[in-house]
């Protein structure tokens, strides 16, 4: 008697699986939903990713400091010692931690230099103004504005005067 119940249960479960498979909607057949069932929402198409701008490096040559602007950070590097072909990183500041970039002079020094500030941070000397040409400073100012989408601006108009240190 128990064998008959087991065989019946097995036949019933096989029939349910076969019926479920036979009634499964195919991709070409329209799907009819009950009005009480929420319709599946297809995700909105994602726009193609914007290409990341290539890092741009500014400097006079292998024996001078260089400044690299990438999509994520401003990086200042100094040349290696002696005849080494390597660079040592002086600063790598993520754009999210930079609140302002500006040209100024030090307390006891009349040399104009680029400084950076972050939230609750003292100013950091990045590079002297003489490390880049005027054209490089103007290009760098535009790139800083583009990379940070206008959040950080670098005013380099003082460099166009004959004696820029008088402005500071």
Structural domain that includes position 129: 56-167
The closest of 90, 96, 70 to 78, measured between CA atoms, is 90
Domain count, the chain: 1
Of residues 62 and 163, more confidently modeled: 62
Long-range contacts of 72-76 (CB under 8 A, 24+ apart): 74/98, 74/101, 74/116, 74/126, 74/144, 76/126, 76/127
d(CA 167, CA 160): 11
* Interval 27-61: pLDDT, tens: 555 555 555 555 566 677 777 776 666 888 898 77
Residue 118, in any domain of the structure:
yes
Place of tokens 């329209």: 30
Residue 22, in any domain of the structure:
no
Residue 144, in any domain of the structure:
yes
């Amino acid at each position: 008697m128990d064998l008959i119940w087991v065989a019946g249960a097995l036949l019933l479960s096989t029939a349910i699986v076969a019926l479920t498979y036979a009634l499964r909607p195919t991709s070409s057949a329209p799907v009819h939903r009950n009005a009480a069932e929420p319709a599946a929402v297809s995700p909105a198409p994602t726009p193609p990713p914007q290409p990341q701008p290539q890092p741009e490096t500014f400097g006079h040559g292998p024996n001078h400091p260089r400044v690299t602007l990438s999509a994520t950070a401003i990086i200042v590097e100094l040349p290696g010692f002696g005849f080494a072909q390597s660079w040592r990183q002086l600063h790598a500041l993520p754009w999210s931690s930079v609140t302002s970039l500006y040209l100024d002079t030090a307390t006891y020094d009349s040399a104009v230099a680029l400084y950076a500030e972050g939230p609750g941070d003292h100013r950091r000397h990045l590079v002297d103004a003489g490390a880049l040409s005027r054209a490089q400073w103007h290009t760098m100012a535009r790139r800083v504005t583009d990379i940070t989408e206008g959040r950080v601006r670098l005013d380099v108009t003082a460099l166009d005067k004959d004696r820029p240190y008088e402005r500071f």
